[in-house]
Structure 1
Amino acid sequence: MKQKWKAFKEQQARIGELDDRTLLLNLYLTQAITLIIGVVWIWFQQRNPFELLQLPSHAQPWLWGIGLAVIVIVVDLLISRFVPDDVTDDGGVNERLFRDRPVWHIFIIALIVSICEELLFRGAIQFAIGPYWTSILFAAIHVRYLRHWVPTALVFSISYAMGLMYEWTGSLWAPIMAHFVIDFVMGLILRYRREA
């Protein structure tokens, strides 16, 4: 068993070895799988995923989402300023994903990821096991952060806050908005930081 694990680890591609097309294909395929699992799971719960995605009739969910995103972005910028890079390193995935991407593509990536992941995690999984355990799973799937406790704790905390916000507002669009704004702004920061 130990040899199989060692062989598997040796087969894993390093982020620097992936070309841009393979990286994007991996991103979009994992999001498609996430979306399919989320929709099927919600249907098995005898709920309608389209009802979960109905736009709210008032501004509260949007404002909660934007507010949480602003807090997360400020905290992340403070962490990146005062914490050494090797403590927050994600293996270069985000850097590779966003550094040469046009703004419209960063927007699309952030939108797709936020809808697919929130539909699965907040819409399906949280309904079954609650926000705490959902956040444990959410942090675990962001495996590239697991080598360092700071980003893992940050991902867990953000996920838990989004789960609570979903419960408070009753709208899946609150965590979707937060997730979207966080990913979009951080993607822009990574893109333009490289040009400076």
Structure 2
Amino acid sequence: MKKFNWKNIKIRKVSIHDIDDRLLLINLYVTQAATFIIGMILIIFQSRNPFSLFAPIHSWSPLIWGAAFAALVLIADLAVTRFVPDDVMDDGGVNDRIFRNRPLWHIAVLSAVVAICEELLFRGAIQHAIGPYWTSILFAAIHVRYLQHWLMTGMVFSISYGLGWIYDQTGTLWTVIFAHFLIDFIMGCIIRYRREEA
């Protein structure tokens, strides 16, 4: 039997520009599927029914909370983008690559998939176990591409903490899913149509 040689493994840094669109999308969808599965497993290990988190809502109030929070985040983000140098807000071109050539329907699908999967894991499972503060630290750490800039890391932490707070206030995952969807969808459209105008 041939012995495996660990020295033959070579690790190199891969730039976002080295990955084609197809591989980038596959990576995004696989990552989100893993996020969803991990969230479901954690919720089951907490002896909770994961499907109860998706119970229908019977008023517009949770969606109004979500829309109001998304509006605040978008206003803050656009204000920061206007007054802060581009290199401080740079995520390495990931968001640009994800959204710039997508049709509107695909931006909506991507935003919905990310919102459902990430909120199930972070708000539905992790926040239940460790609270909104530590969940937000973990949420910021998971968004690795923002860690090189303290302002972006702080914004991701703040958004996550705000989502955790409104989840506690409304008691329904639909609030944070809707807020997360609106933030990603509108920012995706801004990236897409700004590029088109340019």
Query: What TM bracket, shorter-length normalisation?
Result: over 0.9
Which deviations, in whole Å up to 9, do the C-alpha atoms of 1:143-182 show, x marking residues without a partner?
Answer: 0000001111000000000001000000011111110000
Partner of 1:128: 129
The 1-side partners of 2:177 and 2:132 are apart by 15
Instruction: Give yes or no for the alignment of 1:83 onto 2:46.
Output: no
Q: Which amino acid aligns with 1:194?
A: R
The residue aligned with 1:138 is: 139
In structure 2, the partner of 1:54 is: 55
Question: How far apart, in 1, do the equivalents of 2:89 and 2:16 lie?
Answer: 16
Structure 2: 5+ residue stretches without partners = 1-6
The 5 Å alignment of 1:1-196 reads 8=11, 11-196=12-197
How many residues align? The count is: 189
Q: Which amino acid aligns with 2:42?
A: W
Aligned residues: percent identity?
A: 61
Measure how far apart 1:54 and its partner are.
1.1
How much does 1:12 deviate? Answer: 2.7
Distance 2:145 2:179 in 1: 21
Amino acid at match of 1:109: L
* Cα separation, 2, equivalents of 1:56 and 1:121: 20
Normalising by structure 2, what TM-score?
A: 0.94
Cα-Cα RMSD: 1.0
What letter matches 1:69 in structure 2?
A: A
Distance in 1 of aligned mates of 2:80 and 2:193: 19
- SS across alignment from 1:189: helix
Amino acid at match of 1:142: H
Tell me the amino acid that sits aligned with residue 120 of structure 1. L
Q: What SS does structure 2 have at the residue aligned with 1:114?
A: helix
Instruction: Measure, in 2, the Cα distance between the counterparts of 1:50 and 1:131.
Output: 21
Structure of larger gyration radius: 2
Matched residue SS, 2:165: helix
Structure 1 runs (4+) deviating above 2 angstroms are none
Distance 1:54 1:84 in 2: 43
Deviation at 1:189, TM superposition (A): 0.1
Letter of the structure 2 residue corresponding to residue 122 of structure 1: R
Residue type of the alignment partner of 1:63: I
